[in-house]
Amino acid sequence: MPFFPDRARHLLRLHAQRNASDQWPILKRRVATAAGAVLLGLVALAFARASDMAQDVFGHAVARWPYAPLVATPLAFAAVVWATRRWARDARGSGIPQVIAAGRSADEQVTTRLLSLGTAAKKLVLTVTMLLFGASVGREGPSVQVSAAIMVALHRMLRVPITAGVLIAGGAAGVAAAFNTPLAGVAFAIEELAAAYEQRVAILVMGAVMIAGMVSLGIAGDYVYFGAVHQTLKLHRVLLLAPLAGLLGGVAGGLFTRVVLGFSDGRAGWARALKARPVLFAGLCGLVVAALGVGTSGATWGTGYGATRTLVEGGEVSAWFGPAKLMATLATTLTGAPGGIFAPSLAIGAGFGNLLTGVFPYSPPGAVVVIGMVAYFVGVVRAPFTAVIIVSETTAARGLILPMFAAALIADWVSARVCQERLYHGLARPFVAETEGAPRFPGAQSSSSS
């Protein structure tokens, strides 16, 4: 049987070649994911640095010319909205709705349009410009769109099929790199970006999050954004504080969402009237933001990181900070200018937590503020798990996990009673409608999408 050994070797050779051909796409996918995660981690750090520099420049300018924002900020708002509507329509708002819309569409051209590198670059520039003139925006939402765009570009470059998992992994890694919170990236992927989370996406998401987080950690070091909170709360105080914070945060956050979504769909008469002249409306919103900033001695400018950190660490900030920051964020969001609401929402929550410290004078102020941050953030975003993980990782408040979860669940339930639709999914509808060519309400094309 001299033929048998030759035949066996031939079959083994064919089997080895088939295995090699099967492994090649998997290897390319892993290389694309790893390279994308490294690159988006570097971009997220550069974006953070540019954002901080923009706020510093604005702060120095205000210190020299205290009333200049009353002119410069409205003009900047109007200019950015005009530029966005003319050259960067897919860069408007926070960017998270664009990623959700791209994930829902089976058309590759939709992904190309919403998550192109050109759109990502415009998003970065316009968001930094908004921060340069004191807008109440965050960079985490834009980081999600930019990171997803980078991940898509790397996969296209290596000719790897682009699936919903690629978008989810990119967006989740963007959150992880922006906040230096790996667990929050995974939680955000599950709660917000993945409408139907599949097990096979888990490794892709966690791999991208881990690599982006390691890049951020390696360059920026181990840090917590809002300072460390090591205090805990006694059980009887938790039983009072968590329901109260959850109720207030759910109502306030739900109302914010209701107004933004009502303005976005353009059905209501008041929304159509305000959106009839979007550039003029943006200028008026800029004037509101400028007046609030001047009136609060600059507390409401920008992301709100500084004031939030002060409150978390037990410092004092004006009792008007929370409500004023809410109005500044709402005015900025309604313009549709590029910029997110993650950081401003956490700052607003810290402001509401600051109000609650007067109701609970014998509880550690920092712990009360942290509960307020979670409650309001959940009221807006309706992602309890993400909120608790983000706040616990950015404040090292691991001793408050259970109180935070209690407040988050209550806020989520209350917010759903105030506004049934979730913010980012509601804001994704205009992008989905644009891609499907569906009929849309008047003015919806220029809707805000924070």
Domains of the chain: 29-220 (1.10.3080.10), 235-434 (1.10.3080.10)
Q: Which of 381, 372, 298 is nearest to 333 (CA)?
A: 381
Going by C-beta distance under 8 Å and a sequence separation of 6 or more, which residues neighbour residue 15?
A: none
- DSSP, collapsed to helix, strand or coil, labels residue 138 as strand
What are the DSSP calls for 61-102, one per residue?
Answer: HHHHSTTTHHHHHHHHHHHHHHHHHHH-GGG-S-SHHHHHHH
- Along the 450 residues of the chain, how does pLDDT read in single tens digits? 454 566 555 555 655 555 545 567 778 888 888 888 889 889 988 999 999 999 999 999 999 999 999 999 999 999 999 999 999 999 999 999 999 888 877 677 888 889 999 999 999 999 999 999 999 999 889 999 999 999 999 989 988 888 777 888 888 888 887 777 777 777 787 777 665 445 455 556 656 766 766 666 666 665 555 667 778 888 888 999 999 999 999 999 999 999 999 998 877 787 888 888 999 999 999 999 999 999 999 999 999 999 999 999 989 899 999 999 999 999 999 999 999 999 999 999 999 999 999 999 989 999 999 999 999 999 999 998 889 988 988 888 888 988 999 999 999 999 999 999 999 989 998 887 776 554 443 333 334 444
The amino acid occupying position 95 is: G
Going by C-beta distance under 8 Å and a sequence separation of 6 or more, which residues neighbour residue 79?
A: none
Distance CA 372, CA 355 (A): 9
Going by C-beta distance under 8 Å and a sequence separation of 6 or more, which residues neighbour residue 168?
A: 103, 189, 193, 194, 201, 204, 205
Distance CA 65, CA 378 (A): 37
